[in-house]
Amino acid sequence: MNEHRIVKVSKYLSKHLRHQPDRIGLTLDTNGWVEVDTLVRAAAAHGFRFTRAELDHVVATNDKKRFAVREDEARGTLIRASQGHTVEVDLALPPVEPPAYLFHGTHPRAVAAIRADGLSPMARHDVHLSADRETATRVGARRGRPVVLSVDTGAMYRAGHTFRVSANGVWLTARVPVEFVRFPAP
């Protein structure tokens, strides 16, 4: 499978498992899962064909592990996006104590708003945080020169904020008040 095809299938899966399942007639369950066979058929019916082998390859090789697959005795093989949904789902992730600091990659234009209001989920369900600076740098670089913020998640946790971690290692929290954000020196 060539790199262009892998990216195309991955973007298609992200769009329809995170943001617009109804666009192709999918109904995600309350936890974001849908049957793989249903997904493949729905995509084909809407003009985007991919094989089960291509889907399995994308899931297995995605560098960010964006998708999770599991077997269900009653429903067969299920797939969901690991996080980043704009549609209502409950990922059913248990609360977890975070490390002392996590990181958030962003772009310079967002820093003034973050200084004023902290980090908010925007269109997503949660703020996404990374366990290391390198990952946060890659996330922030999607829109140009990255700015990496440190978040005092240990203090947030002690103050009663809840954290969860997705299957692919992305840390999730409802919001990050500005007093817990550490900005880099100008």
The model carries a pTM of: 0.81
Q: What is the SS3 string spanning the chain?
A: CCHHHHHHHHHHHHHHHHHCHHHHCCCCCCCCCEEHHHHHHHHHHCCCCCCHHHHHHHHHHCCCCCEEEEEECCCEEEEEECCCCCCCCCCCCCCCCCCCCEEEEECHHHHHHHHHHCECCCCCCCEEEECCHHHHHHHHHHHCCCEEEEECHHHHHHCCCCCEECCCCCEEECCECHHHEECCCC
Tens of pLDDT, residue by residue over 113-144, are 999 999 999 888 899 999 999 999 999 998 88
Tens of pLDDT, residue by residue over 38-84, are 999 999 999 999 999 999 999 999 878 899 999 999 999 999 999 88
Distance from chain centroid for Cα 65 = 9
pLDDT at 63: 78
CB 156 within 8 A of CB 88: no
- Average pLDDT over every residue of 148-172: 96
Residue 183 has pLDDT above 90, yes or no: yes
Task: Assign domain 102-182 to a CATH class.
Answer: alpha beta
pLDDT at 101: 98
Kindly list the distances between the CA atom of residue 185 and the CA atoms of 137, 142, 150, 154, in Å, as whole numbers in the listed order. Answer: 16, 21, 12, 22
- The radius of gyration of the chain from alpha carbons, rounded to an integer in Å, stands at 18
C-alpha distance across the termini of the chain, in Å = 44
Kindly list the distances between the CA atom of residue 162 and the CA atoms of 10, 173, 177, in Å, as whole numbers in the listed order. Answer: 30, 6, 13
In the chain, where are the structural domains located? 3-81, 102-182
Q: How confident is the model at residue 95 (pLDDT cuts 50, 70, 90)?
A: very high
Share of the chain above pLDDT 70, in %: 100
Residue 178 has pLDDT above 80, yes or no: yes
CATH number of 3-81: 1.10.10.970
